[in-house]
Amino acid sequence: MAKRDFYLAAYDVSERGRLSAALSLVRAYATGGQKSVHEVFLTDAERRELLHDMALILDEEEDRFLLLRLDPRGRVHTLGKGMQPHDPTLFYMG
Protein backbone atom coordinates (compact mmCIF):
# COMPACT_ATOMS: atom_id res chain seq x y z
CA MET A 1 0.00 0.00 0.00
CA ALA A 2 1.28 3.50 -0.88
CA LYS A 3 2.48 5.69 1.98
CA ARG A 4 0.05 8.48 2.83
CA ASP A 5 0.91 11.66 4.68
CA PHE A 6 -1.56 13.62 6.79
CA TYR A 7 -2.43 17.14 5.57
CA LEU A 8 -4.78 19.97 6.36
CA ALA A 9 -6.31 21.48 3.24
CA ALA A 10 -7.74 24.98 3.64
CA TYR A 11 -9.11 27.42 1.11
CA ASP A 12 -10.60 30.89 0.86
CA VAL A 13 -12.54 31.30 -2.38
CA SER A 14 -14.40 34.49 -3.24
CA GLU A 15 -16.82 33.35 -5.95
CA ARG A 16 -19.66 30.92 -5.26
CA GLY A 17 -19.10 28.67 -8.29
CA ARG A 18 -15.37 28.25 -7.63
CA LEU A 19 -16.10 27.75 -3.93
CA SER A 20 -18.46 24.88 -4.72
CA ALA A 21 -15.92 23.32 -7.09
CA ALA A 22 -13.10 23.66 -4.52
CA LEU A 23 -15.28 22.09 -1.81
CA SER A 24 -16.21 19.15 -4.05
CA LEU A 25 -12.58 18.57 -5.01
CA VAL A 26 -11.24 18.59 -1.44
CA ARG A 27 -14.11 16.48 -0.09
CA ALA A 28 -13.20 13.79 -2.62
CA TYR A 29 -9.96 13.31 -0.64
CA ALA A 30 -11.14 14.27 2.87
CA THR A 31 -11.48 12.03 5.88
CA GLY A 32 -12.85 14.83 8.06
CA GLY A 33 -12.90 18.55 8.61
CA GLN A 34 -15.09 21.56 9.12
CA LYS A 35 -16.25 24.28 6.74
CA SER A 36 -13.24 25.19 4.59
CA VAL A 37 -10.56 23.18 6.45
CA HIS A 38 -10.34 19.46 5.78
CA GLU A 39 -8.19 16.56 6.97
CA VAL A 40 -6.74 14.54 4.10
CA PHE A 41 -4.36 11.60 3.79
CA LEU A 42 -2.55 11.78 0.46
CA THR A 43 0.07 9.84 -1.43
CA ASP A 44 2.61 11.92 -3.37
CA ALA A 45 0.67 11.30 -6.58
CA GLU A 46 -2.64 12.32 -4.99
CA ARG A 47 -1.03 15.48 -3.57
CA ARG A 48 0.23 16.49 -7.01
CA GLU A 49 -3.17 15.73 -8.55
CA LEU A 50 -5.03 17.74 -5.90
CA LEU A 51 -2.71 20.75 -6.33
CA HIS A 52 -3.00 20.57 -10.12
CA ASP A 53 -6.79 20.28 -10.10
CA MET A 54 -7.16 23.06 -7.52
CA ALA A 55 -4.97 25.36 -9.65
CA LEU A 56 -7.41 24.83 -12.53
CA ILE A 57 -10.35 25.90 -10.33
CA LEU A 58 -9.00 28.89 -8.42
CA ASP A 59 -8.41 32.47 -9.52
CA GLU A 60 -4.88 33.15 -8.29
CA GLU A 61 -5.64 36.87 -7.88
CA GLU A 62 -8.70 36.38 -5.65
CA ASP A 63 -8.54 32.92 -4.06
CA ARG A 64 -6.18 31.11 -1.70
CA PHE A 65 -5.41 27.43 -1.06
CA LEU A 66 -3.16 25.96 1.62
CA LEU A 67 -2.08 22.33 1.83
CA LEU A 68 -0.17 21.84 5.07
CA ARG A 69 1.62 18.55 5.77
CA LEU A 70 1.42 17.72 9.47
CA ASP A 71 4.36 16.24 11.33
CA PRO A 72 3.64 12.52 11.79
CA ARG A 73 5.45 12.62 15.15
CA GLY A 74 2.97 15.14 16.55
CA ARG A 75 0.25 14.16 19.00
CA VAL A 76 -3.37 14.65 18.01
CA HIS A 77 -5.63 16.50 20.43
CA THR A 78 -9.38 16.51 19.93
CA LEU A 79 -11.97 18.74 21.55
CA GLY A 80 -15.63 18.02 22.16
CA LYS A 81 -16.80 15.01 20.19
CA GLY A 82 -13.86 15.10 17.78
CA MET A 83 -12.37 11.84 16.59
CA GLN A 84 -8.67 11.33 16.06
CA PRO A 85 -7.84 11.08 12.34
CA HIS A 86 -6.65 7.75 11.05
CA ASP A 87 -5.41 6.45 7.74
CA PRO A 88 -7.93 3.74 6.86
CA THR A 89 -6.94 0.69 4.86
CA LEU A 90 -9.51 1.54 2.18
CA PHE A 91 -10.49 4.84 0.54
CA TYR A 92 -13.52 5.16 -1.73
CA MET A 93 -13.07 7.94 -4.24
CA GLY A 94 -15.94 8.43 -6.63
Query: Which residues neighbour 47 within 8 Å (Cβ) at sequence distance 6 or greater?
Result: 5, 7, 67
How many angstroms separate the Cα of 64 from the Cα of each of 41, 46, 61, 75, 76?
A: 20, 19, 8, 28, 26
Q: Is the pTM of this model over 0.85?
A: no
DSSP assignment of 3-45 equals --EEEEEEEE--SHHHHHHHHHHHHTTEEEEETTEEEEEE-HH
Instruction: With beta carbons less than 8 A apart as the criterion, state whether 24 and 50 touch.
Output: no
pLDDT tens series, the chain, 94 aa: 678 899 999 999 999 999 999 989 998 888 776 777 898 999 999 999 999 999 999 999 999 999 999 888 877 666 666 566 666 666 566 5
